[in-house]
Amino acid sequence: LNDNPSHYKITLSGTMKSPKINFDPPFLMLMPVPLDVKTEAAISIIPQDFLRQSQIQVELPELELEDGHRIYPFSVQFPKGKDIVLSSDGTNKELICHISFRSSRPVSFSGNMFFIDEEEN
């Protein structure tokens, strides 16, 4: 280049993949149980395209009973942790989540639980 005002044009292109998570099974149906008895199921959370470590948070539904009381009958546990970790081959490791339900009052529910990362995706 040494005092030669030549112009160079560089074109860059790429594809950005947004992080996402998939579930196995994709939906969950817990069996009816007697009052104050816990029912539980395990799901696999399959993270994809996370480029750095993140942690999963869960927003559990609040249920309103006929008398106006509000309850939180669902709970979740991550027996091996809830960190999304990037493995040496560039993939993300699967997470196991145990979802349980217990209520001392009769209730039926169909709805969503939200699983979000630290950036609220």
DSSP 27-93: S--PPP--TT--EEEEEEEEEES--S-EE-EEEPPPEE-TTS-EE--EEEE-TT-SEE-B-TTSPBP
Query: To the nearest whole number, what is the mean pLDDT of the chain?
Result: 87
Distance CA 92, CA 46 (A): 8
Q: Which CATH fold would you assign to the domain 20-116?
A: Immunoglobulin-like (2.60.40)
Instruction: State the DSSP H helix or E strand holding residue 115, giving kind and residue range, or none if neither.
Output: strand 114-116
Kindly report, residue by residue over 97-117, the tens digit of the pLDDT: 999 999 998 888 888 899 998
Enumerate the domain spans of the chain: 20-116
How many CB atoms sit inside 10 A of residue 100's CB? 15
Q: What is the pTM of this model?
A: 0.78
95 neighbors 82 (Cβ within 8 angstroms):
yes
Kindly report, residue by residue over 32-65, the tens digit of the pLDDT: 899 999 999 999 999 988 888 889 999 999 998 8
